[in-house]
Amino acid sequence: MLTIKQNLQEVISGGNPDRYVKQYEFMDIIMEAPMDLPLAPAPGTRVKNKWGITFDWPEGQIGSFPMHDEDHKVLKDITKWRDYVKAPSVKYSDEEWAAAVEHANSVDRNEKYVTAFCAPGVFEMTHHLMSMEDALMALYEEPEAMKELIEYVIEYELAYAAEYLKHIKPDALFHHDDWGSQISSFLSPEMFKEFILPAYKRIYGFWKENGVDLIVHHCDSYAANLVPFMVEMGIDIWQGAMTTNNIPELIENYGEKITFMGNIDSGRVDFPGWTREKIYDDARKACEECGKVYFIPCLSQGLNISSFPGVYEATDEVIDQLSKEMF
């Protein structure tokens, strides 16, 4: 029987896996690393992070999002972004890194990838600062100012990456950046190529140049039209790939260059009245359609969790069952 890491390598190389990769099992994500996470911690909470972005998690909702009313919007004029946007320091003490270092040192690297976690992504940071509408309009109306802001975010990411690599030698990077709705990318491929592709070629290139073997990018949206750019920027696994992307077709066209992790939409199976039967039906359909290589069955959720208790664990159990039935 292959180890978890060996089985993952067989899947992404088009080899001979002996079972399905079970969601996030190959990544041991070091969540203890100090960083300015983009979220409120629980329903009914509101927090302001070090960029000045206020995140609110209303009761009854399944997550938090930045507030962009006049009192909370950080960036009110893209042409004056330097007056509003101040990146926090990436310097943390050894004591603040201690828990992350301890976690990383406890991982059997022959079995799993020690994985760095980074969020939000470059595009997400722009609309966290100013709102989605303002960010999209600024790309058209003030492209040079947006490129300057994106460059500022890149420099922050690279500085944080350097600190991370100094304290921990990760084998993989799990990086978030949502690039679309369920049915369309937010940017046209031409605009994505101009604004976003160069940023990630630098960011992911830096991590890989410094010993990171595997780039896993989370984007739980439609982004099929951006897959060639994902390949070019160095993404090894697209996590969060939803069914609206026609994953079987993408595997046929790009499978030798990138692996697709998802095709079990969280919105279809992760809800208050969830059932194991529904998870099984969706997971089996995904596995039958996508095959055994260049594909990892997984919820589209952006971490190894679910919004409602038990869904993630039940999905793991279903994938184990499907491995027994289909291998």
For residues 49 and 86, give the distance between their C-alpha atoms in angstroms, rounded to a whole number.
Answer: 12
For residues 88 and 124, give the distance between their C-alpha atoms in angstroms, rounded to a whole number.
Answer: 17
- HSE (side-chain half, CA atoms, 13 Å) at 28: 21
For residues 250 and 245, give the distance between their C-alpha atoms in angstroms, rounded to a whole number.
Answer: 8
For residue 240, which phi and psi values (nearest 5 degrees)?
A: 95, 5
* Tens of each residue's pLDDT in the chain, 327 residues: 999 999 999 999 999 999 999 999 999 999 999 998 778 888 999 999 999 999 999 998 988 999 999 999 999 999 999 999 999 999 999 999 999 999 999 999 999 999 999 999 999 999 999 999 999 999 999 999 999 999 999 999 999 999 999 999 999 999 999 999 999 999 999 999 999 999 999 999 999 999 999 999 999 999 999 999 999 999 999 999 999 999 999 999 999 999 999 999 999 999 999 999 999 999 999 999 999 999 999 999 999 999 999 999 999 999 999 999 999
Q: The whole model's pTM is what?
A: 0.97
- HSE (side-chain half, CA atoms, 13 Å) at 242: 21
Identify which of 144, 146, 141 has the alpha carbon closest to the alpha carbon of residue 129: 146
Q: Which residue bears the tokens 């058209």?
A: 140
CA distances from 158 to 82, 87, 88, 153 (A): 19, 12, 13, 9
For residues 288 and 42, give the distance between their C-alpha atoms in angstroms, rounded to a whole number.
Answer: 37
Q: Which two tokens stand for residue 136?
A: 């999209």
For residues 322 and 190, give the distance between their C-alpha atoms in angstroms, rounded to a whole number.
Answer: 40
